[in-house]
Amino acid sequence: MRVFPNLFAAMVPSPSPPTTEWIALPGHGYHEVIVDSPGHSDNPADFSQEHMMLLLQAYKDRYSHYCCLDDVNYVSIFKNWGREAGASLSHSHSQIIALPIMPPLMKREIDAISAAPFCPFCNIVMREISSARAIAENGSWVQIAPFYSQVPYETWILPKSHISNLMEMDERQHCDLASLLRDALRRMRDLLNNPPYNLMIQQIGSGYHMNIRIHPAITKIAGFERSTGVFINPVSPEQAAAEIRGA
Ligand SMILES: [Zn+2]
Ligand SMILES: [Zn+2]
């Protein structure tokens, strides 16, 4: 496994100034690529337990490097698998983009969490673990098809305990996450015939309940979704969960 700066970085430490015609933030930040695996054709659905634990360790290490920098407000860790999901390289890889701002999607969630009388994600874990949308669980993590799924076969992996980020994971949680994630990727590969997907790790420094979102890219985001931010999902999460459980 190797980590290095992205050759085609979206964010750089010393960006050239943006246009003077409009008010714009400079593209200040950091952009790294993690080469997930030594083999060019390796599929993450086949990663061993040891391999997946190492990948999670790399995510954790790079997160801990960036999260405390003065010029970083958010660290995005994600993986695009397959061309239709945005991967420009076929060799399995993940990316890290450190931003100087809190992105709008996360800001909206953080505002909602601080306005709620309890953690909405703890509530989701508690309620969904015994629902028709539950897929799998082990000692410290649960996988569900969220009732608010945006895309067909979307799944979320959440820790049972309220931790904000990967750095707060203990050994047990690290091991359990690797095992649930392997299981999730294998089931998705088998059920949907190795679909393209985006895997996203949502986490912040504190006051959050970290979670991992997996969006298979088997439908197109089109005019209606782009014009409204409202998603049409033809597969109910209950149906998706039943099929994934059976895979
Ligand atoms: Zn390669
Ligand atoms: Zn929570």
Asked if 93 is an active-site residue, the reply is yes
Q: What is the pLDDT of residue 78?
A: 98
What type of residue sits at position 208? Y
Q: Encoding tokens for residue 183?
A: 């299981």
Domain 2-246, what architecture? 2-Layer Sandwich (3.30)
- Give the ligand at the shortest distance from the Cα of 210: 2
Other beta carbons less than 10 A from residue 193's beta carbon:
8
CA angle 61/179/45 to nearest 5° reads 90
CA distances from 100 to 18, 26, 199 (A): 15, 10, 22
pLDDT given at position 20? 79
The label of the residue with tokens 């997907």 reads 197
- The residue annotated as part of the active site, out of 40, 51, 65, 93, is 93
Q: Which ligand is nearest to the CA of 41?
A: 1
Q: For residue range 223-243, what is the model confidence (pLDDT) as tens digits?
A: 999 999 999 999 999 999 999
Residue at token pair 């890219």 = 217
Percent of the chain with pLDDT over 90: 86
pLDDT, tens only, 117-150: 999 999 999 999 999 999 999 999 999 999 999 9
pLDDT for residue 180: 98
Cα(30) to centroid(ligand 1), Å: 23
What's the 77 CA to ligand 2 centre distance in angstroms? Answer: 20
Which residues hold their Cβ within 5 A of ligand 2, which is an ion? 119, 121-122, 162, 209
Distance CA 41, CA 165 (A): 30
Distance between Cα 24 and ligand 1 center (Å):
36
